[in-house]
Amino acid sequence: MLPEDLFAKLVADQTTSDHPWSAAARRWEMLAVFNQLWETYMLTSSGDVFIDRDEGVLSPANLEQRKVAHVQAARRYLQLRYLMPERPPAARACPLCDGSGEVISDGRRTLCGPPCNSKGWVTNE
């Protein structure tokens, strides 16, 4: 799914940074794309998603977690924009973020969670 050289560069850049997720990226040699509470979502070059719960074991992501990870990767890395799902014609703007994929909380801009998970749109499904 991801060209190996691009994936390797993204992981290498993350592992050498002072980003809070760099330790998980180094540990698993995957790209950390999302973090919530005690979980870090890790992306492989094939597009698979695993979750690091700081237990020393990776767990495979379920379908919804995989979707969240792909959207987060697409929003964080321009080179991974193709992972963003296509907006269906019947979709409407998210009522929480007004279609931006971001919300302001305590004066800080953060990615919108459910119902859109930072896509900026929702469906009736």
Residues in the chain: 125
Cβ-Cβ contacts under 8 Å for 42 (sequence gap 6 or more)? 24, 25, 28, 30, 31, 32, 33, 49, 50, 51, 52, 58
Q: What is the pLDDT along the chain (125 residues), one digit of tens a residue?
A: 677 888 888 988 888 877 777 777 778 888 988 887 788 899 998 889 999 887 778 999 999 899 889 999 998 888 899 999 999 999 999 999 999 998 988 888 888 888 998 899 999 86
